[in-house]
Amino acid sequence: MAEERPLTVEEASAAYESAMRNVLPPGPGVCEVCGTWIAEPWRRCYPCSTTPQQLDVVVPITYSEHLGQVHHALRYYKDGIASVRTYAATRLLAILWRFVLAHEPCVAEACGVPAFDVVTTVPSSTPERDEVRTLLRTIVEACDPLADRFERVLRPTGQVPSGRDYDERRYVATRDLTGLAVLLIDDTWTTGGHAQSAAFALKQAGASTVGLVVIGRHVRPSWQVTEDKTSGDLFNGLPRQFDWTTCRLD
């Protein structure tokens, strides 16, 4: 009977598969840090070239087109009514689970370590929100390959105005992390300001390396990348079949 069969990670992770697109590896026309499209001969997008690079590697799972289904799920798994939220959050959990199960070793290798010692999440922007907005933490706590190593080691200081900017006072680590390799998890990368700020705080506490796995690399389709191509054009030109066996570090 189907009822007795539990939901598998593979099955749940497939829900948004037709909207998911593999993120390109570093190379001509692709930001070497975050995977967004850039004009040659640049190697990094504007935000990544102007933000201090605290993260040792950034691995988005999928591009997330602005107002597309992945973007929508990433925004609304935190809001919406309970049944709807549960559905989306479970699917995002499954996506993270399936991805790290296959690709955490690649991320660790890129950071020069055999494995990560601690897993943590990028906190919300204010201390109040960080107490209420618990869903990303709940997802990582439920993610079997990561759960044992999950620890909430970052807090927002509340001393920084909200916004996307990189700010070294944005977060603070709650314990000493000397010599530890940290895997940071977030749901969305837009400019990387928050994730880089979080990595700064982790390194201040002594972390030896910080790698980031983020579910969606946000794509603003109207962005004019080159004279004749927008991000939307380049997004639409990606292979439509999502491939779970590769990541942008392969």
Partner 1 sequence: MFDSRTLVSTRETAAVLALMARRPAPANRLAGLIEEEGSALRLLEQLDSEVADRLFDVDQKTVTLDELEEHVHAWEREGIALVTILDEAYPANLRMVYDRPAALFYRGRLDAQDARSVAVVGTRSATPEGLDAARGVSRDLVGAGYVVVSGLAAGVDTAAHTAALEAGGRTVAVVGTGLRHYFPKSNQALQDQIGEHHAVLSQFWPGQEGRRWTFPQRNAVMSGFARATVVIEASHTSGARMQARLALEHGRPVFLMRSLLAHKWAQTHAQRPGAYVIDSGAEVVEHLERLYAEQLTLIA
Binding range to partner 1, per CB under 8 A, among 37-45, 89-97, 184-192, 228-236: 89-97
Helical (H) or strand (E) element with 109: helix 82-110
> Which of 137, 154, 136 has the alpha carbon at shortest distance from 74?
136
> Which of 135, 130, 146 has the alpha carbon at shortest distance from 96?
146
Give CA torsion, residues 49, 50, 52, 57, to 10 deg. -30
Binding range to partner 1, per CB under 8 A, among 14-22, 25-33, 132-140, 150-158: 14-22
Residue 99 contacts partner 1 per CB under 8 A: no
CB of 215 closer than 8 Å to CB of 62: yes
Nearer of residues 13 and 120 to partner 1, judged by Cβ: 13
CB of 142 closer than 8 Å to CB of 208: no
**Number of chain residues interacting with partner 1 (CB under 8 A):** 39
d(C-alpha 88, C-alpha 97), whole Å: 14
Residue 236 contacts partner 1 per CB under 8 A: no
Binding range to partner 1, per CB under 8 A, among 86-94, 111-119, 177-185, 204-212: 86-94
Least distance (Å) between residue 79 CB and partner 1: 9
State how far the alpha carbon of 216 is from the alpha carbons of 43, 94, 131, 171, in Å: 21, 14, 23, 22
If you search the block for the tokens 């000397």, which residue do you land on? 178
d(C-alpha 151, C-alpha 16), whole Å: 28
Residue 216 contacts partner 1 per CB under 8 A: no
CB contact set of 180 (below 8 Å; sequence gap of 6+) = 117, 118, 206, 207, 208
| Residues 123-162, mask of contacts with partner 1 (x by CB under 8 A) | -------------------x-x------------------
Interface residue with partner 1 among 40, 83, 148, 239 (CB under 8 A) is: 83
Residue 88 contacts partner 1 per CB under 8 A: yes
Interface residue with partner 1 among 39, 67, 115, 147 (CB under 8 A) is: 67
CB of 194 closer than 8 Å to CB of 220: no
Binding range to partner 1, per CB under 8 A, among 27-35, 46-54, 83-91, 174-182: 83-91
Interface residue with partner 1 among 12, 61, 173, 177 (CB under 8 A) is: 12
Interface residue with partner 1 among 2, 41, 178, 227 (CB under 8 A) is: 2
d(C-alpha 18, C-alpha 96), whole Å: 16
Residue 3 contacts partner 1 per CB under 8 A: yes
Site residues (vs partner 1, CB under 8 A): 1-3, 5-12, 14-19, 67-69, 71-73, 76, 80-81, 83-84, 86-88, 90-91, 93-94, 97, 101, 142, 144
